[in-house]
Amino acid sequence: MSDIIKIKEKYLNKLKDNLDLNAVNQLKSELFGKNGIISNEFKKMSSISIEDRKKFASDLNSIKNELQILIEKKIQNIQINEINFKLKNEKVDITLPERSFNRGKIHPVSQVIDEISSIFSEVGFSVQEGPDVENEYNNFTALNTPENHPARDMHDTFYLDNRKEFLLRTHTSPVQVRTMLSGKPPFKIIAPGRTYRSDSDQTHAPMFHQVEGLHIDKNINMGHLKGCLNYFIKEFFEVDKIKMRFRPSHFPFTEPSAEVDIGYELKDGKIIIGEGDKWLEILGCGMVHPNVLKNVKVDPSKFQGYAFGIGIDRLAMLKYGINDLRAFFESDYRWLNHFGFDPLDVPSSYRGLSR
Amino acid sequence: MKFTINWLKEHLDTKYNEEKIIDKLTNVGLEVESFESQSSEQDEFVVAKILNTEQHPNADRLSVCNVDIGKNKIVKVVCGAPNAKKDLITVYAPPGAVIPKNQMKLSISKIRGVTSYGMLCSESELKLSDESEGITELPSKKYNNQIGKKFFKNNKQKVIDLSITPNRADCLGVRGVARDLSAAGAGKLKKFDESKIKFKGSEKIRVKIIKEKNQGCSTFGSCLIKGIKNTESPKWLKDKIIALGQKPISAIVDVTNYIMFDLNRPLHAYDADKIKEGIIVRNSKKGESFEALDNKKYILQDNMCVISDKSGVLGLGGIIGGTRSGTELDTKNILLESAYFYPKSIRKTSKLLNIDTDAKFRFERGIDPESIEEGLVKAAILIQKICGGEISKPDVQKTETFKKIQIKFSITFFQSITGFKVAEKEIMKILTNLGFVIKKKNNDLNLTVPSWRPDILQPIDIVEEIARIKGYDQIKTELPEKVRDKPTLNKQQKLFHFLQRSVASKGYLETVTWSFTDSKINQLFKEDMNEVKIVNPISSDLNVLRSSIFSNLIIYLKKNLDRGFKDISLFEIGPIFNGNKPGQQKIVLAGLRSGKVSRHNWIEKERLVDVFDAKRDAIQSLVEAGFDQNKIYISDKAPSYYHPGKSGSIYLNKNENNPVVYFGEIHPNILKKIDIKTEALVCIEIYLDNIKETSKKLKDQKIQYQYSDYQKSERDFAFVIDKNFKVQDLINIISEVDKNLIRSVKVFDVYEGENIPSDKKSIALNVTIQSSEKTLKDEDLEKINKLIISTVESKSGAKIRS
């Protein structure tokens, strides 16, 4: 009986020492190995009288547990200390650069097209596209701009054949013609895309981007046009208030026609949209001319509506403070990096158009 | 269209100030381009201050002055005036200025070896007084804060410059502008001064309009004025001509110009003595020529409308006159012409001959056919006033009588288009003020369109007239409803946007380049496509539509390389062209990567970009866009501008006819030709039109999710195989041994060289095997191993490497 208590005390004492892992394992096998002291005590069990056996077993078990726990704890401590010791030598200079990554960017024109599409999507416009190469009829004649009309001079056109039958579209309006010819009213579309005019200087590029809008239905009037553009401008520039002015103008394919100015002011050389007493022309629009409707087989006595055309590059310049139109098309690595957008930054109405 | 406020007020009785007039012009649709004082030669003289003076090194009586001329500019001026002293405020004339006294133009000059930039002026030089001793002294109290400002007050009238839209021919004259303003309530249109004139006799020069097909002239009015003395114009007339931005020439020319800008009525004056036996208005014959007033000789085509006499062409009707019959200061007798030419004819002729004149600009847009006599009379009276002479009775020849347009207009139509209402009374007032004659019939107005409005043809034109005069600020704002009946984008559009962002997310910067390019570069990439030439390119290096995006992209890559960047990834998504007809274009996404991966990196080993980077970018993008990687098939065929050994194409599955992607290195010969210096260059091209629309949405393509919890095993194999045998086929052979059990096949080593025959390679693969029904036993695995080896050996001729 006292044997096992002695054993216990002896080993508790031994375990108090500052031992290394080997020493602890040595003690562990002395006690619990095949011929370990405790193991041997268990073997004695059968030789103990039945009345004493129960108590002996209970005492032995509790001693066994106590020592075992102590030893395991000791081992764990030693291991943790060993790890801690090792960690002291594992310190890296965490200020060294991370592994490399390449960040791509979306061009401002693409980003703005997505923004525009998102805004018009909310009020039910769908996106239509047309070819960059157009025939003379779709680009001019169907749009009430017959040959010999001086309005043609306003469009410096790139021609693709000597008979001037095929050309690079000078505006996105031929998409109106294609859309209406291939379907039945109502129509409610926007058509963003590349457009071309053969002039080139600081403020004109031979290629630029427009978005066309067209809404034809019964009873669509200029009030709807104004409301739609008011909504668009406000959403696009992400301002609460917008000052907008409709000015009479002339386009052969709309009548009445208007040009739209928005109010702005200059603050520290930056354009602030929506305030101020200066006006900036940003788009042309009007009610689709009955001649155009007739040309695309829509009955103007039953259907009417509006169309507009907006310069996308110019909108991008205004919103994102880009000064030089030509730079849009020069693919300068530095410019693309500076003005480009992260590919994950997809404009949407619920997350906001821009960050 | 330029004029001054005072000129406008000759036609308009108004209480409006300048600002209100400008606003009103804008509001009725006459866009004010600018409203500025004319620049004057005297603007260059500025108030300046002498900061200090130094003795001229080579001349005792000269000094060198440092002069503050404002805007933070200081210049050195050599000056001989004794009063040129520090702090003197005086008048400075820069190089280029013309000294009023002697009309001498200043230039930067060296005076005794010292460069002098301009001059300090005396009062006599400025014609202020006779004082020529010393330079002008300005009182410092008044001028101290004026340094750099113009010395002479510009008291020229401000000039309004309108940008007139092509429909508004009538507003190419001041009277037309005044009429619009009066209709919009800005004042009252003044009545013409109907002073009767007395014609002396009815002597005339015979005019004949030949009746022939394509005759460009319908009416020709003329008036002979005899015994005049042509002269310089009086000041009031000169001022008007100058306000237009033109140079006064002589009274006769200035009067005809004045009437044109005042009434929008072009006129032409001939020296009557130079016309041989009367005027014939006819079609030209090919090869006829004449010398025009712009001193150019024009050779004519058939059917251009010419004014001629017995000796030949005098001028092009409505476009430009000729020198042979032009008026000069010694001209005694003149014939005034006031005619109507058809816009189409004018436009055709001027386009062919490339002539642009003020008269052509007006006739092309449509002149009031009823203004012929009025113009003649007004001009004749003015000429008589200035030059004397006797006016004969005007003569008008006609081949056609002008008919005014009638429009039936329903008042409700206005509101249905504009969304707002204008009272009938007001509508009638507006239209009357614009010159319409109205007959009311029930709810309709029967309108007679004024002869000066050729643009008004149908009821919608009337709507615009009322709306613009009433003001577009009357239009209500009907906010749009947030309803969407149709999806915004179709599948192809979604794919476009998805791939655009997917490729960008691989580290590529998106660019937008021209749709046209340099044919010389395009040839390198066009393959067997038709090249589309632009008839009128803006420059010879942008002369064709691009057959490939690379034609531009590679040039911009080169520019960036030249800027010193090495590791560049660029892409563009847009059209390429295969013909000059609508629809002969395709949407392509093309990307380029140059240089190295992990350049100058302390932790990663740097390496050149290679064809497998390109392949990864392409396949990852396709997979992200929703295409099954396991079905993708690679071929080693690619267009000829790719490196023949390091390029390929990607099919969405083996049975497709058209590849959706090409990828690889650009052919080294092309890099040489374009002179691109980079360590490595790889590229991808995604042909969006070759990606067929799937009928199902991605969400419907996914079958029920199944997964296996049974243990999976991996086995490695190494096969020695013919060098030309494609690993893709090897993988397929293995995958197809048991599609249920073989979950993936990975290539982890490719080896050629020692221990391997020179026509062979060793491929090491890792195969994952897993059943979805049970845990595989050793004998199952052994069985499949053996099957893999035997199948591969029999199908590919490979040998398992022991």
In terms of domains, do A142 and A209 share one?
Answer: yes
pLDDT digits (tens, 9 = 90+) for A10-36: 888 888 888 888 888 888 888 888 888
Does the pLDDT at position A60 exceed 90? no
Question: Could you tell me if residue B423 is left (phi over 0), alpha (psi between -120 and 50 degrees) or otherwise beta?
Answer: beta
In terms of domains, do B584 and B617 share one?
Answer: yes
> Any residues with CB less than 8 A from the CB of B746 and at least 6 apart, and which?
B765, B766, B767, B768
Q: Do A123 and B482 touch (CB under 8 A)?
A: yes
Residue from A164, A255, A279, A288 whose CB has the most chain B CBs within 10 Å, to mutate:
A255
Please tell me which residue, A338 or A48, carries the higher pLDDT value: A338
Q: How many domains are there within chain A?
A: 2
| Interface pTM, i.e. ipTM | 0.89
CA distance B792 to B731: 9
In terms of domains, do A166 and A239 share one?
Answer: yes
In terms of domains, do B125 and B182 share one?
Answer: no
Which of B510, B537, B560 shows the shortest C-beta gap to A107?
Answer: B510
List alpha helices for B264-296, DSSP H.
none
Beta strands in B695-780 (DSSP E): 713-722, 742-751, 760-769
pLDDT band at B57 (very low <50, low <70, confident <90, very high): confident
Q: Give the residue on B whose Cα is nearest the Cα of A163.
A: B535
pLDDT of residue B512: 98
Please tell me which residue, B770 or B708, carries the higher pLDDT value: B770
Q: Is B319:B298 a contact under the CB 8 Å cutoff?
A: no
Q: Is B444 exposed, middle or buried (0-12, 13-18, 19+ CB in 10 A)?
A: middle
CA distance B641 to B609: 18
Which among B190, B227, B279 is positioned nearest to B12, based on CA atoms? Answer: B190
pLDDT of residue B154: 64
Q: Is residue B505 part of a domain?
A: yes
In terms of domains, do A62 and A172 share one?
Answer: no
Q: Residue B13: which H helix or E strand, with range?
A: strand B12-13
pLDDT of residue A3: 78
Q: Do A194 and B575 touch (CB under 8 A)?
A: yes
CATH number for the domain that contains residue B410: 3.30.56.10
- Which residues in chain B (69-88) have CB-CB distances under 8 A to chain A? none
Q: What is the DSSP letter of B151?
A: S
Query: Residue A155, Cα to own-chain centre: how many angstroms?
Result: 36
Tell me the average pLDDT of chain B: 92
Please give the radius of gyration of chain B, using alpha carbons only, rounded to the nearest integer.
41
In terms of domains, do B217 and B172 share one?
Answer: no
pLDDT band at B39 (very low <50, low <70, confident <90, very high): low
Average pLDDT over residues A53-81: 89
pLDDT digits (tens, 9 = 90+) for A157-175: 999 999 999 999 999 999 9
pLDDT band at B111 (very low <50, low <70, confident <90, very high): confident
> C-alpha distances in angstroms, B151 versus B94, B100, B142, B293, B598?
12, 13, 12, 39, 65
pLDDT of residue B40: 66
Q: Do A124 and B533 touch (CB under 8 A)?
A: no
- B420 reaches A (C-beta below 8 A): yes
pLDDT digits (tens, 9 = 90+) for B572-622: 999 999 999 999 999 999 999 999 999 999 999 999 999 999 999 999 999
In terms of domains, do B59 and B171 share one?
Answer: no
In terms of domains, do B181 and B222 share one?
Answer: no
Query: Quick one: tokens of B790?
Result: 């035997």
Q: Is residue B196 part of a domain?
A: no
In terms of domains, do B45 and B34 share one?
Answer: no
Does the pLDDT at position A5 exceed 90? no
In terms of domains, do A64 and A181 share one?
Answer: no
pLDDT digits (tens, 9 = 90+) for B645-675: 999 999 999 999 999 999 999 999 999 999 9
pLDDT band at B682 (very low <50, low <70, confident <90, very high): very high
Which pairing describes strands A278-288 and A304-311: parallel, antiparallel, or unpaired? antiparallel
pLDDT digits (tens, 9 = 90+) for A193-244: 999 998 877 778 999 999 999 999 999 999 999 999 999 999 999 988 889 9
How many Cα neighbours within 13 Å face the side chain of A60? Answer: 20
Q: Is B388:B286 a contact under the CB 8 Å cutoff?
A: no
pLDDT of residue B686: 98
Residues of A in contact with B581 (CB under 8 A): 133, 135, 166
Q: Is residue B698 part of a domain?
A: no
In terms of domains, do B436 and B318 share one?
Answer: no
Choose one of B664, B690, B716: the last residue of a domain: B690
CA distance A347 to B156: 53
Beta strands in B231-363 (DSSP E): 268-271, 279-283, 289-291, 297-299, 305-309, 312-316, 320-321, 334-341
Q: Is residue A319 part of a domain?
A: yes
CA distance B663 to B634: 10
In terms of domains, do A61 and A136 share one?
Answer: no
Query: Which residue do the tokens 């490695």 mark?
Result: B716
Residues of B in contact with A336 (CB under 8 A): 509-511, 570
Q: Is residue B201 part of a domain?
A: no
Does the pLDDT at position A54 exceed 90? no
Question: Number of residue pairs across A and B with CB atoms under 8 Å?
Answer: 265
Which range of residues forms the domain containing residue A64?
Answer: 2-87
pLDDT of residue B113: 84
CA distance B253 to B240: 13
Which among B641, B651, B649 is positioned nearest to B681, based on CA atoms? Answer: B641
Choose one of B342, B368, B398: the last residue of a domain: B398
Q: Estimate the crossing angle of helix A108-122 against helix A312-320, to 10 degrees.
A: 100
Does the pLDDT at position B484 exceed 60? yes
DSSP-assigned letters across all residues of B593-654: EESEESTT-SSS--EE--HHHHHHHHHHHHHHTT--GGG-EEES---TTEEEEEEEEEESST
In terms of domains, do A127 and A184 share one?
Answer: yes
Q: Is residue A345 part of a domain?
A: no
Q: What is the DSSP letter of B64?
A: E
Q: Do A127 and B461 touch (CB under 8 A)?
A: no
CA distance B777 to B794: 26
Q: Give the residue on A whose Cα is nearest the Cα of B506.
A: A104
Residue B265, classed as helix, strand or coil, is coil
pLDDT band at A106 (very low <50, low <70, confident <90, very high): very high
Q: What is the DSSP letter of B565?
A: -
CA distance B434 to B466: 10
Does the pLDDT at position B695 exceed 80? no
In terms of domains, do A44 and A162 share one?
Answer: no
CA distance B225 to B389: 6
CA distance B338 to A170: 37
Find the length of chain B: 802
Residues of B in contact with A125 (CB under 8 A): 488
Which pairing describes strands B217-226 and B681-687: parallel, antiparallel, or unpaired? unpaired
pLDDT band at B242 (very low <50, low <70, confident <90, very high): confident
In terms of domains, do B255 and B389 share one?
Answer: yes
* pLDDT above 90 coverage of chain A, percent: 59
Does the pLDDT at position B408 exceed 90? yes
* pLDDT above 90 coverage of chain B, percent: 75
Which among B525, B24, B1 is positioned nearest to B12, based on CA atoms? Answer: B24
What's the gap in Å between the CA of A322 and the closest CA on chain B? 15
What's the gap in Å between the CA of B163 and the closest CA on chain A? 10
Q: Is residue B199 part of a domain?
A: no
Q: Is residue B198 part of a domain?
A: no
Please tell me which residue, B331 or B443, carries the higher pLDDT value: B331
Q: Is A263:A277 a contact under the CB 8 Å cutoff?
A: yes
Q: Torsion over CA of A213, A214, A220 and A221, rounded to 10 degrees?
A: 50
Least-confidence region, from A75-79, A300-304, B39-43, B477-481 = B39-43
In terms of domains, do B532 and B678 share one?
Answer: yes
pLDDT digits (tens, 9 = 90+) for B535-567: 999 999 999 999 999 999 999 999 999 999 999
In terms of domains, do B279 and B367 share one?
Answer: yes
Q: Is residue A333 part of a domain?
A: yes
What's the gap in Å between the CA of B604 and the closest CA on chain A? 7
Does the pLDDT at position B702 exceed 80? no
Query: Quick one: tokens of A23?
Result: 């020493």
- Which residues in chain B (545-584) have CB-CB distances under 8 A to chain A? 545, 553, 556, 559-560, 563, 565, 568-570, 574-575, 577, 579-584
Q: How many domains are there within chain B?
A: 6
pLDDT of residue B195: 64
Average pLDDT over residues B49-63: 88
Which range of residues forms the domain containing residue B180?
Answer: 2-38+156-189
In terms of domains, do A17 and A72 share one?
Answer: yes
- Which residues in chain B (400-419) have CB-CB distances under 8 A to chain A? 416-419
Number of Cβ within a 10 Å radius of residue B428: 17
> Any residues with CB less than 8 A from the CB of B557 and at least 6 apart, and which?
B568, B570, B592, B594, B676, B681
Average pLDDT over residues B319-333: 92
CA distance B656 to B54: 88
- A37 reaches B (C-beta below 8 A): no
In terms of domains, do A33 and A137 share one?
Answer: no
Query: Quick one: tokens of B286?
Result: 């090919």
In terms of domains, do A126 and A251 share one?
Answer: yes
In terms of domains, do B361 and B287 share one?
Answer: yes
In terms of domains, do A140 and A209 share one?
Answer: yes
Q: Is B769:B784 a contact under the CB 8 Å cutoff?
A: yes
* pLDDT above 70 coverage of chain B, percent: 99
Q: Is A225:A306 a contact under the CB 8 Å cutoff?
A: yes
Q: Is residue B414 part of a domain?
A: yes
- B27 reaches A (C-beta below 8 A): yes
In terms of domains, do B647 and B596 share one?
Answer: yes
Q: Is B110:B116 a contact under the CB 8 Å cutoff?
A: yes
Which among A345, A309, A305, A276 is positioned nearest to A108, based on CA atoms? Answer: A345
In terms of domains, do A19 and A117 share one?
Answer: no
Query: Quick one: tokens of A141?
Result: 């004649």
Which among B39, B102, B563, B542 is positioned nearest to A158, based on CA atoms? Answer: B542
Q: Is residue A50 part of a domain?
A: yes
- A186 reaches B (C-beta below 8 A): no
pLDDT of residue B155: 62
CATH number for the domain that contains residue B378: 3.50.40.10
Q: Is residue B781 part of a domain?
A: yes
Which of B344, B419, B493 shows the shortest C-beta gap to A148?
Answer: B344
Q: Is residue A96 part of a domain?
A: no
Q: Do A227 and B516 touch (CB under 8 A)?
A: no
Q: Is B566:B596 a contact under the CB 8 Å cutoff?
A: yes
List alpha helices for B694-777, DSSP H.
698-701, 727-735
Residue burial A318-342, b: 16+ Cβ < 10 Å; e: rest: bbeebeebebbbebbbebbeebbbe
3-state secondary structure chain A: CHHHHHHHHHHHHHHHCCCCHHHHHHHHHHHHCCCCHHHHHHHHHHHCCHHHHHHHHHHHHHHHHHHHHHHHHHHHHHHHHHHHHHHCCCCCCCCCCCCCCCCCEECHHHHHHHHHHHHHHHCCCEECCCCCEEEHHHHCHHHCCCCCCHHHHHCCCCECCCCCCEEECCCCCHHHHHHHHCCCCCEEEEEEEEEECCCCCCCCCCEEEEEEEEEEECCCCHHHHHHHHHHHHHHHHCCCCCCEEEEEEEECCEEEEEEEEEEEEEECCEEEECCCCEEEEEEEEEEECHHHHHHCCCCCCCCEEEEEEEEHHHHHHHHHCCCCCHHHHCCCHHHHHHHCECCCCCCECCCECCC
CA distance A195 to B515: 10
